[in-house]
Structure 1
Amino acid sequence: MEKRFDDILGLLKKSYGEILTPEEDKQFQQLMEDKRFRELYDELERGDLVREGIENCKLFSHYKGFTEFKRLRGRNKRRRLRLYVMLGTSAAVCVLAINFIFSFMSSWQNEHVSFATSTDIFPAGNEVRLLLGNGDTVSVSNEKKVLEDKGGAQIKFENGGLAYIAKEKSEEMVYNELLVPIGGECYLILEDSSKVWVNADSRLKYPTHFTGDERRIELEGEAYFEVKPGNKPFIVQTSMGDVKVLGTSFGVRVYKQEDMLTTLVSGRVLYRGRDSVQLVPGEQAVASLSGRIGKRVVDVDEYVGWKNGMYVFDHRPLEEIIRDLERWYGVTITFVHSELKRLPFTGYVKRHDKINIFLKLLESTGELKYKIEGKNILLFEK
């Protein structure tokens, strides 16, 4: 079994490198006669998963991953599922091939991987709006343009982001609001050179230039900050408390009907709500809807990786993951069988890939199946 597995995986890799010998090419063509193998190969070829990961794939232990997959595949469906699918990483092609080859070589013919025929769903797309202090609304697009703000700052629009450059400072505090819809994102450089990445379904209110003895902004939704050090404290005000820093990198997540999360990457942060919690790098403050405040050690990439184009999940319940995907892809995902909500998922998902790849890999575990109806996605127990 092990040798057969390695042979097939080797053929897959060599086919993409176009280094098959005549004999190997004959073997590969025989494999391609299987409809399931052909569908998977075509799907990979349409995307960049294999081409991005093929050079480093040898660093991943093929057989170790295969053994782990078999062990997980054989568990009771009611137990916890740990699905190792690392999309967009050097191991992506290996894991995808593992999932398929196991089904190809096994006897469970009625449980083979079935890919639903559906329209591809990509991220909803940017339609970010900026509300200026004078009441005007401006679309933040990829067009290059420069505006003069009421507060005396110059606003530069470029590549879907914007930057503020102070020209003449006045004592009047003029606020702008950045509205990022479902499926959107925006990069912002504030007047003090602090950088902000704003995630989907979020609102950021901030002054065109900072006056007084603090730098205060308001956030609803999610954003990642790299604050420029200075004498004035930088304060992120939310409906569930404030985050105070001097110069640091951190993420804040405060969506309605969800716990507030403050994740520190570097520097120090003070969260102030009903209670106060001070964080060091690698820690996260959690403010629950019930009012309880606590902190924990986390893998920061799991909570701020989105700003670098990657969703990272570590034993995350599928129900929580679905919330992120709904905001990003602009879809509605329904659990037809509620017990699926508790399935834990571990893996990496490229943020700008179509959601279909994620769904197909979920289905390949044998735990669930899905159906796409327009912008509605249904998840069923298999």
Structure 2
Amino acid sequence: MKETKEYTRSLTIARQLCDIMQQHQLQDIGELKEWLEHNNIAVETIQLLMDGSELAKKVELYRQQDKEMAILALRTKIRNYQRHRLFIRISSIAATIILLISFGLLFHKLSQQEESQALVSIIPTISSPMIITPDGEYHDLSKITTDTTHHLNIAYKSTEEIKYTYQSQANNIEEERFNQLIIPNQCNYQVTLCDGSIIRLNAGSRLEYPNSFPSHERKVRLSGEAYFEIKHDGRPFTVEIRQASIRVYGTQFNINAYQDTNIETVLVEGKIGISIQDSSHQEKILKPNQLSRLNLLTGEQEIVEVDIQKYIAWTTGFLRYDNDPLELLIQDLNRWYGSDFEFSDNNLKNIRISASINKDTPLQEVLAMIQTTAKIKFHLIERRYLITR
């Protein structure tokens, strides 16, 4: 079982790295490493075993529209395992991509973190919400059958949400095993956990959670943005975001953790405490209509009164900005519309803009509005928008 899990994780990371190389048109391992470092992404050095006499296997990953079928094809070709090298040769329609992951070749920063964090740093390129089980099984939520939902302990599923089977009592479990719910760009999704708590995930986000909570606590992990409605049941509820944590007992709040260094939390109702793990900084209490901006590098935390509607507008299908930097709006457009943008001048990122955008508005209409408001221009060049004066 352990070898199977290691094998599955290795396949997962290999596929994710290949997706990144193809999506960002990276030519070799050097460019991949630079991209990972630039985006502050950590990669665990994981060993994948190859056939004894061969160092690599050529696999047609992208000849099939269904990437999961390609992964299954890869699994049938790999029989033996080594401990010191991962070398995967992947043939695509356009070219052969060579991935070489060995100890020290790609920097690794996860050696002291929990095993469950191995896949957190990389969000794979997907087109619909996906669940990765603790055993490494991939399930596309747009395709799973009734039998599969029963197997996953899901009581209800639609195109926009899933609900886990409600458990009125805590479970005496020895070890928490976390699922990963991954939301692609251009998509929002809602999950109701086994305790009845509701979490709405914004585009490009990831949530880790167990099928069952232990008797003493409820804990989830977030990357991206989510709106929480936590059901009160006596056990503390903790949201972990990298090295910070938010502790609640029954409340509604929004967390924006897209950035690597800052975490923004807005409290709608109730009370929450925010702290940095393994730090001497005391927990800071947030009150309704307050925003906490926590810098993970310095430990500095700013708490201010805000109009919370601006920060939770995405849950009702809107993007709102009030004298915010243009860079923030462009980042949101990238996540929601799935389009790439590039600034010709970094000074353009600081242009201030106020706007309210319905997420159903066609991108070209949104860009036309921004051009008029911010006095800038968008030039479409090879599927990427260049932003100029």
TM-score normalised by L of structure 2: 0.61
Q: How does 1:289-368 map to 2 (within 5 A)?
A: 289-365=297-373, 367-368=375-376
SS of the aligned residue for 1:148 comes to helix
Q: Check conservation: 1:126, 1:185, Cα contact below 8 A.
A: no
Q: Check conservation: 1:335, 1:379, Cα contact below 8 A.
A: yes
Gaps of 5+ in 1: 1-123
Corresponding position: 1:221 with 2:229: no
Q: Check conservation: 1:145, 1:156, Cα contact below 8 A.
A: no
Return the offset for 1:343: 1.4
Return the offset for 1:143: 7.1
Return the offset for 1:223: 0.8
Distance 1:259-1:219 versus aligned 2 partners, 3 A rule: same
What is the aligned partner in structure 1 of residue 246 from structure 2? Answer: 243
Between the two proteins, the alignment pairs up a number of residues equal to 256
**Higher-RCO chain (CA-CA 8 Å, sequence separation at least 6):** 1
Return the offset for 1:294: 1.8
SS of the aligned residue for 2:311 comes to helix
Measured in 2, the distance between the counterparts of 1:238 and 1:309 equals 24
What is the aligned partner in structure 2 of residue 158 from structure 1? Answer: 158
Q: Check conservation: 2:229, 2:252, Cα contact below 8 A.
A: yes
Gaps of 5+ in 2: 1-124
Q: Check conservation: 2:325, 2:350, Cα contact below 8 A.
A: yes
Return the offset for 1:156: 2.6
Measured in 2, the distance between the counterparts of 1:223 and 1:351 equals 17
Distance 1:272-1:365 versus aligned 2 partners, 3 A rule: closer
Q: Check conservation: 2:172, 2:215, Cα contact below 8 A.
A: no
Selected match of 2:291 from 284, 290, 294: 284
Measured in 1, the distance between the counterparts of 2:196 and 2:301 equals 31
Spell out, residue by residue over 1:153-172, the C-alpha distance to the aligned partner (whole angstroms, 9 max, x if none).
34432123111004795625
Larger mean CA deviation between 210-219 and 362-371 belongs to 362-371
Corresponding letter in the other structure for 1:340: L
Corresponding letter in the other structure for 2:266: T
Distance 1:377-1:196 versus aligned 2 partners, 3 A rule: same
Corresponding position: 1:210 with 2:213: yes
Q: How does 1:34-45 map to 2 (within 5 A)?
A: none
Q: Check conservation: 1:132, 1:149, Cα contact below 8 A.
A: no
Identity of aligned residues (%): 26
Distance 1:256-1:364 versus aligned 2 partners, 3 A rule: closer
Corresponding position: 1:171 with 2:181: no
Measured in 2, the distance between the counterparts of 1:290 and 1:145 equals 48
Q: Check conservation: 1:311, 1:348, Cα contact below 8 A.
A: yes
Corresponding letter in the other structure for 2:199: V
SS of the aligned residue for 2:165 comes to strand
What is the aligned partner in structure 2 of residue 184 from structure 1? Answer: 187
What is the aligned partner in structure 2 of residue 71 from structure 1? Answer: none
Larger mean CA deviation between 282-291 and 138-147 belongs to 138-147
Spell out, residue by residue over 1:98-141, the C-alpha distance to the aligned partner (whole angstroms, 9 max, x if none).
xxxxxxxxxxxxxxxxxxxxxxxxxx995111012343211112
Spell out, residue by residue over 1:174-229, the C-alpha distance to the aligned partner (whole angstroms, 9 max, x if none).
32110112333211000111000111222111011211211111111111100111
TM-score normalised by L of structure 1: 0.62
Q: Check conservation: 1:182, 1:329, Cα contact below 8 A.
A: yes
Return the offset for 1:145: 3.3
Measured in 2, the distance between the counterparts of 1:366 and 1:226 equals 36
Measured in 2, the distance between the counterparts of 1:291 and 1:327 equals 28
SS of the aligned residue for 1:210 comes to coil
Distance 1:258-1:322 versus aligned 2 partners, 3 A rule: farther
Measured in 1, the distance between the counterparts of 2:319 and 2:261 equals 18
Distance 1:144-1:186 versus aligned 2 partners, 3 A rule: farther
Spell out, residue by residue over 1:261-290, the C-alpha distance to the aligned partner (whole angstroms, 9 max, x if none).
111011111111143211111101111143
Q: Check conservation: 1:285, 1:294, Cα contact below 8 A.
A: yes
What is the aligned partner in structure 2 of residue 136 from structure 1? Answer: 137
Distance 1:365-1:310 versus aligned 2 partners, 3 A rule: closer
SS of the aligned residue for 2:334 comes to helix
What is the aligned partner in structure 1 of residue 128 from structure 2? Answer: 127
Q: How does 1:42-191 map to 2 (within 5 A)?
A: 126-141=127-142, 145=146, 147-149=149-151, 153-166=153-166, 171-172=173-174, 173-191=176-194
Spell out, residue by residue over 1:34-84, the C-alpha distance to the aligned partner (whole angstroms, 9 max, x if none).
xxxxxxxxxxxxxxxxxxxxxxxxxxxxxxxxxxxxxxxxxxxxxxxxxxx
Measured in 2, the distance between the counterparts of 1:334 and 1:362 equals 15
What is the aligned partner in structure 2 of residue 98 from structure 1? Answer: none
Corresponding letter in the other structure for 2:324: R
Q: Check conservation: 1:261, 1:285, Cα contact below 8 A.
A: yes
What is the aligned partner in structure 1 of residue 33 from structure 2? Answer: none
Measured in 1, the distance between the counterparts of 2:198 and 2:361 equals 25
Question: Greater helix percent: which structure?
Answer: 1
Q: Check conservation: 2:353, 2:374, Cα contact below 8 A.
A: no
Q: Check conservation: 2:132, 2:180, Cα contact below 8 A.
A: yes
SS of the aligned residue for 2:208 comes to strand
Return the offset for 1:235: 0.6
